[in-house]
Chains A and B, each alone.
Chain A
Amino acid sequence: MDAGKFLAGAGLRIATIAGQLLVVSIVIFVVLRLIPTDPLAMMIPANATRDEAESIRAAFGFNRPIYEQYLMWLGHALQGDLGNGIQAREPVTRLIKTALPLTLELAFLGLLTGVVLGALLGILTFRARGTRLERVGEAVASLAQSIPEFLWGIAFVLIFGLALSLLPFIGPMNSAYIVPRQTGFLIIDTLLAGRLDAFADHLKHMIMPVAALAMMKIAMVMRVLRSSLVEVYLDEYVNAARLRGVSETAILFRHALRNAAIPTVTLIGVQAAQTFGGTLLIEAIYSLPGLGNLMIVAIRTNDLPLIQGICLTYCAIVLLVNSLVDLSYFWLNPRLRRQ
Chain B
Amino acid sequence: MSSRGQARILIGGGILAFIVCVAVLAPWLAPHNPNDQDLLQMLAPPAWSPDGDWSHPLGTDNLGRDVLSRLIYGARVAAIVGTIVPIGTCLLGSSIAIVAGYYGGYVDKTLSRIVDIWMSFPAVVLSLVLMVGLSPGLRSVILATVLVDWTRFCRITRGAILGLMKLEYISAARITGASHVSIMLRDLVPGVLPLIITLLCVEIGVAVVVESILSFVGVSVEPHIPTWGVMIADGLASVFQAPWCLVFPMLAVILTVMAANMMGDGLRIRFDARIVDRTRAPA
1/0 per residue, CB under 8 A from B, across A311-333: the answer is: 10011001100100000000000
Judging by beta carbons under 8 Å apart, are B123 and A274 in contact? yes
Q: Which residues of A contact B133 (CB under 8 A)?
A: 31-35
A154 CB–B CB distance under 8 Å: yes
Closest to A278 in B: B124
Say which residue of A28, A34, A146, A307 sits within 8 Å of B258 (CB atoms): A146
Chain A CB within 8 A of B120 CB? yes
Q: Are B257's CB and A24's CB within 8 A?
A: no
Given contacts A146-B261, A296-B217, contact A155 B122 (CB under 8 A): no
Whether A151 lies near B253 (C-beta < 8 A) is: yes
User: What A residues does B173 contact at CB under 8 A?
Assistant: none
Chain B 121-152 near chain A by CB (<8 Å), digits 1 or 0: 11111001111111100000000000000000
Q: Could you mark each residue 4-33 of chain A with 1 if its beta carbon is under 8 Å from any beta carbon of chain B, else 0?
A: 000000000000000010011001100111
A109 → chain B, closest Cβ, in Å?
17
Interface string of A272-306 (1 = CB under 8 A from B): 01101110110011000000000110011010000
A307 to B121, CA, bound (A): 13
A273's contact among B120, B236, B254, by CB below 8 Å, is which?
A: B120
Which residues of chain B come closer than 8 Å to A143, judged between CB atoms?
Answer: 258
Fill in one digit per residue for B182-221: 1 if any A CB lies within 8 Å of its CB, else 0.
0000000000000000000000010001000100111100
How many A-B contacts if CB must be within 8 Å?
109
> A31, B123: Cβ atoms under 8 Å?
no
Contact of B250 among A145, A155, A280 (CB under 8 A): A155
Which A residues lie within 8 Å of B254 (CB)?
A: 146-147, 151
The answer to the question of B24 belonging to the interface, with a C-beta cut-off of 8 Å to chain A, is: no
Contact between chains at B123 and A142 (CB < 8 Å): no
Knowing A277-B125, A295-B128, the reply to whether A319 touches B261 (Cβ < 8 A) is no
**In the complex, what's the smallest C-beta–C-beta distance from A272 to chain B, in angstroms?**
9
Q: Could you tell me the distance between the alpha carbons of A278 and B261 in the complex, rounded to whole angstroms? A: 20
Min CB gap B128→A, angstroms = 6
- Shortest Cβ distance from A296 into B: residue: B217
- How near does chain B come to A18, taking the closest CB pair, in angstroms? 12
B99 in the interface, Cβ–Cβ < 8 Å? no
* A157–B124 CB distance below 8 A: no
A165–chain B nearest beta-carbon distance, Å? 12
Which residues on the A side are within 8 Å of B125 (C-beta)? 276-277, 280, 295, 310-311, 314
Chain A neighbourhood of B217, CB < 8 A: 281, 284, 296, 299
Interface check B239, CB cutoff 8 A: yes
A150 at the interface (CB under 8 A from B): yes
Q: Does B116 contact A (CB under 8 A)?
A: yes
Asked if residues B205 and A146 are in contact (CB atoms below 8 Å), the reply is yes
B88 within 8 A of A: no
B276 within 8 A of A: no
Q: How large is the interface on B (under 10, 10 to 19, 20 to 34, 35 or more residues)?
A: 35 or more
B264 to chain A, nearest CB (A): 11
Given contacts A24-B117, A158-B243, contact A281 B213 (CB under 8 A): yes
Q: Tell me the smallest distance from the CB of A171 to a CB of chain B, in Å.
A: 15
Nearest CB to that of B119 among chain A residues? A273
Asked whether, in the complex, the Cβ of B124 is within 8 Å of the Cβ of A307, the reply is no
**A281/B205 contact (C-beta < 8 A), A150-B213, A273-B119 known:** no
Given contacts A146-B257, A151-B254, A307-B132, contact A281 B124 (CB under 8 A): yes
Give complex CA distance A296, B213 in Å.
12
Q: B129 is contacted by which of A20, A28, A155, A296 (Cβ under 8 Å)?
A: A28
- B122's partner among A34, A145, A318 (CB-CB below 8 A) is A318
The 8 Å CB contact of B257, one of A147, A285, A295, is A147
Within 8 A of A (CB), among B257-282: 257-258, 261, 265
Q: How far is the CB of A21 from chain B (nearest CB, A)?
A: 9
Q: Does B232 contact A (CB under 8 A)?
A: yes
Residues of A within 8 A of B132 (CB): 31-32, 35, 299, 302, 307
Task: Report 9 cross-chain contacts, Cβ distance below 8 Å, ordered by A residue.
Answer: A24-B117, A31-B129, A35-B133, A142-B265, A147-B257, A148-B213, A158-B246, A273-B120, A299-B217
What 10 additional pairs, Cβ within 8 angstroms, besides A28-B129, A142-B261, A299-B131? A24-B121, A35-B132, A143-B258, A151-B253, A158-B246, A274-B122, A280-B125, A281-B217, A285-B236, A299-B128
| A interface residue numbers (CB < 8 A to B) | 20, 23-24, 27-28, 31-36, 142-143, 145-148, 150-151, 154-155, 157-158, 162, 273-274, 276-278, 280-281, 284-285, 295-296, 299-300, 302, 307, 310-311, 314-315, 318-319, 322
